[in-house]
Structure 1
Amino acid sequence: MTGSAAQGKQPSALAGRFAGRRIVVTGGSRGLGGEVVRLLLAEGARVATCARTAESLDRARRTFGAGDELFTRPLDVAAPELLEQFVESAAATFDGGLDGVVACAGGARGRGITEATAEDWAETWALNAGHFARLAACATPYLRASGGGSIVVVSSISGWKPGPQAQYGASKAAQLHMVTSLARELGPYGIRVNAVSPGSMLIPGKRWDRMRQEDPAAYQQFAAEFPGRELVRPEEVADAIAFLLSDQARGVTGVNLPVDRGQNAPTPQGY
């Protein structure tokens, strides 16, 4: 953000860091994305989020107790035209501009290199690198219209710490490269671009939580990859994302911020 535009976005201390801000978060119905949306709403933002199903978005709306300050739409972020329409609709709902964007949706398809198909690689790339690239591209005009803003992508420690599957790690590494490139490209417009790379997160009902309940010995062995023997909490990652979106990080761009509790290997396989 630059000049008077940045000054005009300063919230009061009582209103929260994001009072009056308009922020898009992909994949915000549950898990880490849900934590990000919850935090932004609590601090005064108007938020647009998407997920694969209307049912998951309806549940999220009830959970957050959200009203008009939350705009939702079901879609597949790997479909570029649907993602672009979502961003356009969100900006229109938010008076023609945006102040922040979080690319949180992502995923992986396929197994090891000899089993993964070309389609597995293409789908994993589209979910992660492709989705981030398209989101940044279509959000940039709206961020510029607001005088600048912040783009954050949720990458992964798998982007530089080797672990299966290769198609996932490669797509996450691509996100990190795009961050450094886009920070230079978009900086003249007052747009900051950063990444947050979570370690393995303990999310209720997800992989590591199931392991903890179903195979405690294996879980404890995996927890040894963390110096404090505790996995990452999604709210810890959400706090880091909110920092990068906020004016507190106005001098920060082009960085990758790991939130991994010092994790070594990203998977129980140990590599």
Structure 2
Amino acid sequence: MAGVGQDRAQRAVTGRFVGRRVVVTGGSRGLGEHVVRLLLAEGARVATCARKAEPLEALRRSLDAPDALFTQSLDVCVPERLERFVEEAASALDGLDGVVACAGGARGRGITEASAEDWSATWEMNVGHVARLVATTTSHLRVAGGGSIVVVASVSGWKPGPQAQYGSAKAAQIHMVSSLARELAAGGIRVNAVSPGSMLIPGKRWDRMRQEDPPAFERFRAEFPGRELVQPEEVADVIAFLLSDQSRGVTGVNLPVDKGQNAPTPEGY
């Protein structure tokens, strides 16, 4: 992904995040990696985590200034592990100014097949992870005089599609943001959500469909008025905007970055 960093460095708004310290969960690949690289290119110091150590180490090795990145491998769903990472990140970065909740996921299939454990795991990956991340980072943001929290939700959180456990969890994230924005405003903390549409990420579902089943991919493209899926760097740009002072008047919103997508999956509905 070195090309991503080089391209991002060329496009960066010089110095927008110089002196800023940001935590990003799920930052080793996909959208999270784009966010991390963008913030670093624009001068931030960043702490990120992911389940596997190898992609995090590969990310560090690809950077021109690896000392600006603090990493740990962990499962954000493990009790107290995420909280410990936040405290160690805040210590390593000497405080926090911003937070991006990018880690997430889903388990299980349709309602008659998904188990109670599938629902619980999906909820914890999304809602529980965000709640604990915000609860742990809030004190550090207040010490810094305020800050910005961005939660990566999904088009599936407000446009129906399978599976229900994932859409329900993402809808809960969106509601949580509107509530937390009011609760934390007195401390100078802004809270917003970004809802990406279906992103074309190398090696992921839609990229595999494009390569393995071109007719199905062409049908899916019809869900987009411009017939183009969302690029992760387009979402990263919006996340960076919400972290920056350029959005200082924005809080409690859910900002779709979906290119006007209709159904969030090829199954429609």
TM-score above 0.5:
yes
Aligned to 1:51: 50
More deviation, 40-49/52-61: 52-61
Question: Quick one: which of 203, 224, 227 aligns to 1:226?
Answer: 224
The CA distance in 1 between the partners of 2:63 and 2:129, in whole Å, is 25
Aligned to 2:208: 210
> Cα offset for 1:15?
4.9
The CA distance in 2 between the partners of 1:161 and 1:142, in whole Å, is 34
Alignment partner of 1:177 is 2:166: no
What letter corresponds to residue 23 of structure 1 in structure 2?
V
What letter corresponds to residue 36 of structure 1 in structure 2?
V
The CA distance in 2 between the partners of 1:158 and 1:215, in whole Å, is 23
Question: Quick one: which of 116, 119, 130 aligns to 2:114?
Answer: 116
What letter corresponds to residue 24 of structure 1 in structure 2?
V
Alignment partner of 1:22 is 2:36: no
Aligned to 2:9: none
Q: Scaled by the length of structure 2, what TM-score is found?
A: 0.94
Aligned to 1:9: none
The CA distance in 2 between the partners of 1:195 and 1:14, in whole Å, is 22
> Cα offset for 1:56?
1.3
What letter corresponds to residue 252 of structure 1 in structure 2?
V
Aligned to 2:8: none
> Cα offset for 1:119?
0.3
> Cα offset for 1:14?
7.9
The secondary structure found in structure 1 opposite 2:66 is: coil
Contact 1:150-1:245 within 8 A present in 2 as well: yes
Aligned to 2:149: 151
> Cα offset for 1:63?
2.8
More deviation, 53-62/127-136: 53-62
- Show the 5 A alignment for 1:1-271: 15-95=14-94, 97-271=95-269
The CA distance in 2 between the partners of 1:160 and 1:102, in whole Å, is 20
How many matched pairs? 258
The secondary structure found in structure 1 opposite 2:234 is: helix
Q: Scaled by the length of structure 1, what TM-score is found?
A: 0.94
The CA distance in 1 between the partners of 2:233 and 2:64, in whole Å, is 18
What letter corresponds to residue 63 of structure 1 in structure 2?
S
Unpaired segments ≥5 residues, structure 1: 1-12
What letter corresponds to residue 178 of structure 1 in structure 2?
M
Identity of aligned residues (%): 77
Describe the superposition over 1:195-223 as per-residue Cα deviations: whole angstroms up to 9, x where unpaired. 00000000000000000011111000000
> Cα offset for 1:67?
1.6
Distance 1:14 1:204, change over 3 A: closer
The CA distance in 1 between the partners of 2:121 and 2:233, in whole Å, is 28
What letter corresponds to residue 84 of structure 1 in structure 2?
E
Contact 2:13-2:42 within 8 A present in 1 as well: no
> Cα offset for 1:185?
0.3
The secondary structure found in structure 2 opposite 1:208 is: helix
What letter corresponds to residue 155 of structure 1 in structure 2?
A
> Cα offset for 1:59?
1.1
The secondary structure found in structure 2 opposite 1:68 is: helix
The CA distance in 1 between the partners of 2:185 and 2:201, in whole Å, is 34
The secondary structure found in structure 2 opposite 1:64 is: coil
The CA distance in 2 between the partners of 1:155 and 1:180, in whole Å, is 12
What letter corresponds to residue 27 of structure 1 in structure 2?
G
Contact 1:52-1:75 within 8 A present in 2 as well: yes
The CA distance in 1 between the partners of 2:238 and 2:257, in whole Å, is 8
The secondary structure found in structure 2 opposite 1:177 is: helix
Aligned to 2:5: none
The CA distance in 1 between the partners of 2:117 and 2:205, in whole Å, is 24
The CA distance in 2 between the partners of 1:189 and 1:213, in whole Å, is 48
Distance 1:213 1:182, change over 3 A: same
